[in-house]
Amino acid sequence: MRGMVAGIDLIAKRFGQYCIARHVAIAIRFGKRHDVIFFTHFIRCGFMDPVSPLPAILCLLLAVATAFLLMRKFGAPPVQGRFASIDGLRGYLAFFVFLHHASIWFFYLRTGKWVNPPSNLYSHFGLSSVLIFFMITGFLFFSKLIDGRTRSIDWGRLYISRFLRLAPLYLFVMLLLFCVVAYLSGGILNEPIQKLLSNSAQWLGFTILGAPNLNGIGGTLIIVAGVTWSLPYEWLFYFSLPLLALTVRVVAPLPYIAVAVAGVTGLVMLDPQFHSLKQMSVPLLSFIGGIIVSFLVRSELVRQFAARKTSSFIVIGCLATAVTFYPIGFGLAPVILLFVAFAVIACGNTLFGILVSPTSRTLGEMAYSIYLIHGISLFITFSLIVGQYKSREISSVTHWLMVAGITPVLIFVCFITFRFIESPAMRSSTKLADWIRLRLTAHS
């Protein structure tokens, strides 16, 4: 496998050199010297620059093509609810996070530092995508609270559905993580069993208590690309729902209010990332942005404006402005730009029909799988299959060709995990809620 990678790397380098030399010779022959300068710069920057947008476009096209083939083979997912654009948006956001970490891997292999890449675009692919995920959560679930003013909320089913939505796939990913750690450890216990079990329990608890190294394997968090940091924020918001419901004059049963108070208090006290108001501010602003949109979407005037094709340019303009003028999405100004873009989409804009297409919906339904699994796929590729020593020697062209190569595999695997892990768990939420309610009634 490593010999194959070396061959691909050599071919990529020779091909780039050939393209430049060939075009230069033809252009000089016909006197197009300005074309020589442009094409040489294009090749160098477009295919050899590790933060060029061209590899991202290639990978995205491969992901969409794979989703299209899966959709044609197995059928398109049904349109669910009133917010079809959001269903399509999710998949692209999750895939952008994959591209973000693929870029980080290129520099991590050479510097040993897991930090944002030196590119506004690839940096925004990460945090900004997650912030929009938070807006989606705030929007959808506060919409449920507003609707609760006219029809009752089944709080038990809501929380059971949330647990079954997040936990089964997360536990599967944890199993993959433990297998990778066992492989890296050579099957040898490198720390006391009590410590290993304690650290494993922290991981199984959605890393609310932290994400420690397992069995002495340094950088355990990098195996999953550190994506678990966002899940405690999701749980914080879910626990706060009975309290937020009071703001729209919806009163949850007292036991759920008590659970909300205990849950929010416990998370804030136990999770270290909630100890810094500065660190929490931007994610919380994103949830608030989603809440604001849940009111805007109820205006017919706003929905009519958002549904116009010309409003798509507002979305594109806001995102382009955020990427151009702000290095990351962590700040008030970029969050406002992301908020405007999200508000237009949530209120009915489809980005020229892209977000509501069957292919986008197919990609969207596997968004959670893409988000959780892509980190392991990158780690296995660069650390286990190729090896970190060899991976740091390959060119940026080969790096991105490898990322492009695993893209269809990632999409196919995530399609499988959605079909056989996520979807069955979600479908069982009503039955489980009824069963628990029946058991509680029988014992009361």
- For residues 1 and 147, membership in a common domain is answered with no
Residue 9 pLDDT? 55
- For residues 304 and 432, membership in a common domain is answered with yes
Name the region of 186 (left: φ>0; alpha: ψ -120 to 50; beta: rest). Answer: left
Domain that residue 133 falls in: 54-151+222-228+269-443
Q: In this structure, what is the dihedral angle of CA atoms 66, 68, 74, 78, given to the nearest 10 degrees?
A: 130
Residue 78 pLDDT? 84
Residue 80 pLDDT? 73
- For residues 147 and 8, membership in a common domain is answered with no
Q: What secondary structure does DSSP assign to 19-31, as a single string?
A: HHHHHHHHHHHTT
Residue 7 pLDDT? 54
- For residues 83 and 11, membership in a common domain is answered with no
In 1-30, which positions are buried (b, 16+ CB within 10 angstroms) versus exposed (e)? Answer: eeeebeebbeebeeebeeebeebbeebeee
Measured CA to CA in angstroms, residue 168 lies from 42, 161, 206, 381 at distances of 46, 11, 12, 25
Residue 164 pLDDT? 95
What average pLDDT score do residues 132-160 get?
96
| 177 is a domain residue | no
Residue 4 pLDDT? 54
- Dump pLDDT digits (tens) for 273-314: 998 888 899 999 999 999 999 999 999 999 999 999 999 999
Helix, coil or strand: residue 189: coil
Domain boundary among 26, 48, 70: 48
Q: How confident is the model at residue 6 (pLDDT cuts 50, 70, 90)?
A: low
User: How far apart are the C-alpha atoms of 355 and 345, rounded to whole Å?
Assistant: 9
What average pLDDT score do residues 255-282 get?
93
Residue 15 pLDDT? 45
User: How far apart are the C-alpha atoms of 339 and 286, rounded to whole Å?
Assistant: 7
- For residues 7 and 146, membership in a common domain is answered with no
Residue 19 pLDDT? 46
Residue 27 pLDDT? 41
Those residues whose C-beta lies under 8 Å from the C-beta of residue 220, and which sit 6 or more positions away, are 177, 181, 211, 212, 213, 214
What average pLDDT score do residues 5-12 get?
52
- Dump pLDDT digits (tens) for 365-413: 999 999 999 999 999 999 999 999 999 999 999 999 999 999 999 999 9
Percent over 90 (pLDDT), the chain: 81
- For residues 17 and 60, membership in a common domain is answered with no
DSSP annotation of 217 reads B
Q: Is the dihedral of CA 230, 235, 238, 243 positive or negative?
A: negative
What average pLDDT score do residues 432-439 get?
84
Q: How many CB atoms lie within 10 A of CB 80?
A: 11
Contact 365, 87 (CB under 8 A): yes
| 238 is a domain residue | no
Contact 141, 241 (CB under 8 A): yes
Residue 436 pLDDT? 85
User: How far apart are the C-alpha atoms of 143 and 251, rounded to whole Å?
Assistant: 15
Residue 279 pLDDT? 87
| 159 is a domain residue | no
Residue 442 pLDDT? 72
| Residue 20 pLDDT exceeds 80 | no
When divided into structural domains, the chain yields a total of 2
- For residues 93 and 9, membership in a common domain is answered with no
- For residues 22 and 108, membership in a common domain is answered with no
Residue 169 pLDDT? 98
- Dump pLDDT digits (tens) for 314-362: 999 999 999 999 999 889 999 999 999 999 999 999 999 999 999 999 9
| Residue 222 pLDDT exceeds 50 | yes
DSSP annotation of 272 reads G
Residue 160 pLDDT? 95
- For residues 84 and 144, membership in a common domain is answered with yes
- Dump pLDDT digits (tens) for 96-129: 999 999 999 999 999 999 999 999 999 999 999 9
Q: How confident is the model at residue 433 (pLDDT cuts 50, 70, 90)?
A: confident
| 185 is a domain residue | no
Burial environment of residue 245 by CB neighbours within 10 A (0 to 12, 13 to 18, 19 or more): buried
Residue 83 pLDDT? 86
User: How far apart are the C-alpha atoms of 35 and 20, rounded to whole Å?
Assistant: 11
| 392 is a domain residue | yes
| 237 is a domain residue | no
Of residues 442 and 176, more confidence is placed in 176
- Dump pLDDT digits (tens) for 21-49: 444 443 444 444 544 444 445 545 555 78
Residue 360 pLDDT? 97
| Residue 201 pLDDT exceeds 70 | yes
- For residues 301 and 380, membership in a common domain is answered with yes
Q: At what angle do helices 396-417 and 33-48 cross, to 10 degrees?
A: 50
Helices (H) and strands (E) in the chain, counts: 20, 0
- For residues 17 and 141, membership in a common domain is answered with no
| 143 is a domain residue | yes
Of residues 329 and 444, more confidence is placed in 329
| 259 is a domain residue | no
User: How far apart are the C-alpha atoms of 173 and 99, rounded to whole Å?
Assistant: 19
- For residues 68 and 3, membership in a common domain is answered with no
